């Protein structure tokens, strides 16, 4: 049974989805104002691991990851470049997906963009106004924190003693708010040429927090299973999402909150503003590979901090290469028919340890230790010629299971691509025409070894996977 630390309760809890056999989650995705750094991708990969692990556990998963494609930075950068928001963000959205795919992440089921959901945000703000959770000031709209007594339940920040009520001007914000803690739901344009939208609540643009409430509830319902994000989002972003969503619906919003710890550099959070960051592209330029970057980023459980060093990344390169080499050697080993009981139980144990590690709040360190223990035992057996045909199949199946979650072993060499297969079939046909039956048979055997079956029909050669 999967247990995760729920930020809301502060406890390790058994994960029990709302509907048995299904899991619905929302992950706060990137702000597409620039290339993402590998700290951002640590969180993206953690979300990917959770998604994959829920599937491993047999659940049907619906995952949503938003793209924040409007905020003050984007507006300023787009204006500076003389572009519209869409023109400016197009490049970074494209780059994000390229990096995302290269890092072996599975695409979410829905990846909504904030700018495409302005009407939904306006509707939600209207509901909040009707329930007196929101008020207008200078054509902007704010959330009234005093109207939501549960405010602070996620971050456990004690707001007692904070100035409440009474109109005041807060220097950090240009607008008039009732309470310093109140936050903007909707911002009226302050300049002539500022990007804005005409909606049922007037002309303006959304605050950051409202987008995630509107888009998560649109695609997952008013109550859903899991909400994920980096630890920096607990306050104020997620606290505000709860206030907005629960304020509007009167229902519980997300049931479990899972927050990922940061990637650090010499004790400091990797971030654009600190300048201590590397993008995925920077590392590729330095000669590192995507699977090694993925391995490094997932090698420590998501709820523990991870320190970035080039040494650790070089270590990950070696580990990934050895895992790939291991898979190839097991695939290619010529084995005698039968079973080596010792290896068979080692494989079972590795699978159990892997699952026990992952069940424990996604403890990827324990899960990886189980994988490495198995590779050591199998390597010893391979060196002694003690791997038997049954073990070979079981070990390869185990690798497939591990990799359905980790995705670091790379393509199986057995899994030939369709055009590679077709090429060999064409070569076999040619050999037959030359009456070189020896070569033709060799090709048939080679394909059979890779689980490809040939059928000679009157319309030519057909093939299928075993
Ligand atoms: P952003 O693009 O800033 O909206 O962030 C995208 C995601 O990356 C969010 O879930 C952040 O919490 C997360 N994030 C930002 N910095 C780091 C870091 N250094 N390590 C891990 N995750 C981070
Ligand atoms: Zn969010």
Question: Which residue puts its alpha carbon closest to atom 2 of ligand 1?
Answer: 30
**Along the 466 residues of the chain, how does pLDDT read in single tens digits?**
999 999 999 999 999 999 999 999 999 999 999 999 999 999 999 999 999 999 999 999 999 999 999 999 999 999 999 999 999 999 999 999 999 999 999 999 999 999 999 999 999 999 999 999 999 999 999 999 999 999 999 999 877 655 444 333 344 455 579 999 999 999 999 888 889 999 999 999 999 999 999 999 999 999 999 999 999 999 999 999 999 999 999 999 999 999 999 999 999 999 999 999 999 999 999 999 999 999 999 999 999 999 999 999 999 999 999 999 999 999 999 999 999 999 999 999 999 999 999 999 999 999 999 999 999 999 999 999 999 999 999 999 999 999 999 999 987 766 666 777 888 898 998 999 999 999 999 888 888 877 788 888 888 888 887 7
pLDDT of residue 90: 98
pLDDT of residue 160: 63
Q: Ligand 1 in contact with 302 (CB < 6 A)?
A: no
Q: Ligand 1 in contact with 37 (CB < 6 A)?
A: no
Question: Which residue puts its alpha carbon closest to atom 7 of ligand 1?
Answer: 40
Q: How many CB atoms lie within 10 A of CB 368?
A: 21
Domains of the chain, earliest start first:
3-260 (3.40.50.620), 310-406 (1.20.120), 413-465 (no CATH)
Residue 229 alpha carbon to ligand 2 centre in Å: 7
Q: Which residue is associated with the tokens 């020896």? A: 438
Q: Ligand 1 in contact with 30 (CB < 6 A)?
A: yes
- Cα dihedral sign, 197-203-205-206: negative
pLDDT of residue 168: 38
Q: Ligand 1 in contact with 306 (CB < 6 A)?
A: no
Ligand 1 atom nearest to 270, measured from its CA? 19
Buried b (16+ CB within 10 A) or exposed e, 264-296: ebeeebbbbeeebbbbbbebeeeebbbbbbbbb
Question: Which token pair is 248?
Answer: 């509007």
Question: Which residue puts its alpha carbon closest to atom 8 of ligand 1?
Answer: 40
pLDDT of residue 161: 52
* Alpha carbon distance 169, 165 (integer Å): 12
Separation in Å, CA 422 to CA 59, 229, 461: 36, 44, 10
Q: Can you give the pTM of this predicted structure? A: 0.88
Q: Ligand 1 in contact with 43 (CB < 6 A)?
A: yes
Residue 243 alpha carbon to ligand 2 centre in Å: 13
pLDDT of residue 417: 67
* Alpha carbon distance 184, 432 (integer Å): 75
């Amino acid at each position: 049974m999967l247990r995760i630390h729920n930020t809301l309760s502060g406890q390790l809890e058994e994960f029990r989805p709302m509907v048995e056999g299904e899991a619905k989650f929302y992950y706060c995705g990137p702000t597409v104002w620039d290339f993402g750094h590998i700290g951002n991708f640590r969180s993206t990969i953690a979300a990917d691991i959770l998604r994959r692990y829920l599937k491993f556990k047999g659940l049907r998963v619906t995952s949503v990851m938003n793209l924040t494609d409007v905020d003050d930075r984007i507006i300023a950068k787009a204006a500076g470049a003389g572009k519209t928001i869409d023109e400016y963000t197009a490049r970074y959205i494209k780059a994000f997906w390229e990096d995302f795919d290269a890092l072996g992440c599975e695409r979410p089921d829905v990846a909504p963009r904030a700018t495409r959901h302005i009407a939904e945000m306006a509707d939600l703000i209207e509901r909040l106004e009707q329930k007196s959770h929101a008020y207008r000031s200078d054509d902007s709209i704010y959330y009234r924190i005093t109207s939501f007594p549960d405010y602070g339940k996620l971050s456990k920040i004690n707001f007692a003693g904070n100035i409440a009520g009474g109109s005041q001007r807060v220097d950090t914000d240009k607008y008039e708010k009732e309470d310093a803690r109140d936050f903007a739901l909707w911002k009226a344009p302050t300049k002539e040429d500022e990007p804005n939208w005409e909606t049922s609540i007037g002309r303006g643009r959304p605050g950051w927090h409202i987008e995630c409430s509107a888009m998560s509830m649109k695609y997952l319902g008013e109550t859903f299973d899991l909400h994920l994000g980096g630890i920096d989002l607990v306050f104020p972003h997620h606290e505000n999402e709860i206030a907005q969503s629960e304020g509007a619906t009167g229902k519980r919003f997300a049931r479990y909150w899972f927050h990922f710890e940061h990637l650090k550099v010499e004790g400091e959070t990797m971030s654009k503003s600190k300048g201590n960051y590397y993008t995925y592209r920077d590392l590729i330029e330095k000669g590192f590979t995507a699977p090694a970057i993925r391995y490094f980023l997932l090698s420590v459980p998501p709820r523990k901090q991870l320190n970035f060093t080039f040494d650790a990344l070089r270590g990950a390169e070696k580990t990934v290469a050895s895992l790939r080499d291991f898979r190839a050697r097991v695939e290619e080993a010529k084995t005698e028919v039968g079973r080596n009981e010792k290896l068979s139980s080692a494989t079972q144990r590795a699978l159990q340890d892997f699952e026990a590690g992952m069940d424990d709040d996604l403890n990827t360190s324990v899960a990886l230790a189980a994988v490495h223990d198995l590779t050591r035992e199998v390597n010893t057996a391979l060196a002694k010629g003690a791997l038997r045909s049954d073990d070979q199949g079981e070990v390869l199946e185990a690798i497939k299971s591990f990799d359905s979650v980790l995705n670091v072993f790379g393509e199986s060499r057995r899994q030939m691509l369709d055009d590679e297969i077709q090429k060999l079939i064409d070569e076999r046909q040619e050999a037959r025409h030359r009456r070189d039956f020896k070569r033709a048979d060799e090709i048939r055997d080679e394909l059979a070894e890779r689980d490809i079956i040939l059928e000679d029909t009157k319309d030519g050669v057909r093939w299928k996977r075993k």
